């Protein structure tokens, strides 16, 4: 999958606060595949510094770690999950249909955070995004069984099995907007801290440069019936996504603080690099603390 370059520097400074009162703060955890292993590092640093988080929004891999945060799972547990997860654990998790009943560390984290829970059972307001396979639009899920919603949000095209919710099939929540700040605003956030990992589904260069490529992909992706969640429908869905992602917007431009871990060339679809991403998350979190005024913690 193509990527767009990271911003530099890797931190967008906050806007001026509108009042002297402590704002309701949302943490938006962005999409990015294996790059999302930076999230526990950022969360750990913010928690240790006493930064108050009132609500959390997750897209794709951000939904998994966002569920941990919203469910009250200690940051140290999420950090440890990344540290003990081997590439084979990550591969088995995806090949197993994102099954939270599996025995690997990722499955255990999801099970402990969300088994048998509705969104309303969590310790703080939480929302995830997913992509409707028929319309290609990003949808927001913040009610109902939380594990089903997270499974939909982290279901990468061609890797996972689409998740059937409310009569429609859904896939990865970070395909059109990798850091959905607007969801946090709709939930009432007055200050939004977004952890951005780039664009994990930008069209490859040949699609952007060849005038015939986009119409060809649109033709290949034409859907003449409601998606069934089977592999041919996933291929058509993927073709439509590539056709629509020739000029993806830069994520989180309207966040108050945007944190960009320096993840270099690490691909979202890699099965290795979790430890590297985690350490970059720690570094980015520490850098972000300087942008948070003492009174805003």
- Structure tokens, 228: 């069934």
What's phi and psi for 126, nearest 5 deg? Answer: -145, 140
Q: What is the pLDDT of residue 146?
A: 97
The verdict on pTM exceeding 0.75 is: yes
Q: What is the 8-class DSSP label of residue 202?
A: B
Model pLDDT for residues 80-106, shown as the tens digit of each residue: 999 999 988 888 887 766 676 667 899
Long-range contacts of residues 84-87, Cβ cutoff 8 Å, at least 24 apart: 85/274, 87/271, 87/272, 87/274
Model pLDDT for residues 236-256, shown as the tens digit of each residue: 777 776 666 656 667 788 899
Model pLDDT for residues 24-57, shown as the tens digit of each residue: 999 999 998 899 999 999 999 999 999 999 999 9
Count of alpha carbons within 13 angstroms of residue 52, beta-carbon side: 13
Is the CB of residue 67 less than 8 Å from the CB of residue 126? yes
Which regions of the chain are under pLDDT 50?
1-9, 13-20
List C-alpha distances in Å: 112 to 102, 107, 117. Answer: 12, 9, 10
Any idea which residues carry the catalytic annotation?
60, 172
């Amino acid at each position: 999958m193509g990527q767009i370059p990271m911003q530099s520097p890797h931190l967008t400074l906050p806007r001026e606060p509108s009042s002297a009162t402590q704002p309701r703060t949302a943490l938006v955890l962005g999409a990015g595949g294996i790059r999302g292993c930076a999230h526990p590092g950022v969360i750990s640093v913010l928690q240790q510094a006493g930064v108050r988080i009132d609500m959390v929004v997750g897209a794709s891999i951000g939904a998994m770690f966002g569920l941990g945060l919203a469910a009250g799972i200690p940051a140290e547990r999420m950090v440890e999950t990344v540290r003990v997860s081997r590439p084979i654990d990550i591969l088995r998790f995806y090949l197993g249909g994102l099954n939270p009943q599996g025995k690997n560390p990722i499955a255990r984290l999801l099970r402990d955070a969300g088994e048998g829970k509705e969104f309303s059972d969590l310790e703080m307001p939480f929302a995830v995004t997913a992509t409707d396979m028929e319309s290609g639009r990003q949808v927001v899920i913040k009610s109902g069984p939380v594990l089903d919603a997270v499974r939909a949000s982290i279901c990468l095209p061609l890797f996972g099995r689409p998740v059937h919710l409310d009569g429609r099939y859904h896939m990865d929540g970070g395909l059109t907007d990798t850091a959905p700040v607007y969801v946090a605003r709709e939930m009432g956030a007055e200050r939004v801290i977004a952890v951005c990992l780039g664009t994990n589904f930008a069209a490859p260069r040949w699609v952007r440069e060849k005038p015939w490529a986009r119409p060809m992909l649109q033709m290949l992706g034409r859907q003449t019936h409601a998606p069934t969640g089977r592999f041919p429908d996933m291929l058509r869905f993927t073709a439509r996504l590539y056709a629509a992602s020739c000029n993806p917007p830069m994520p989180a431009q309207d966040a108050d603080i945007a944190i960009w871990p320096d993840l270099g060339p690490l691909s979202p679809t890699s099965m290795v690099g979790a430890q590297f991403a985690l350490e970059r998350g720690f570094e980015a979190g520490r850098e972000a603390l300087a942008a948070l005024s003492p009174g805003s913690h």
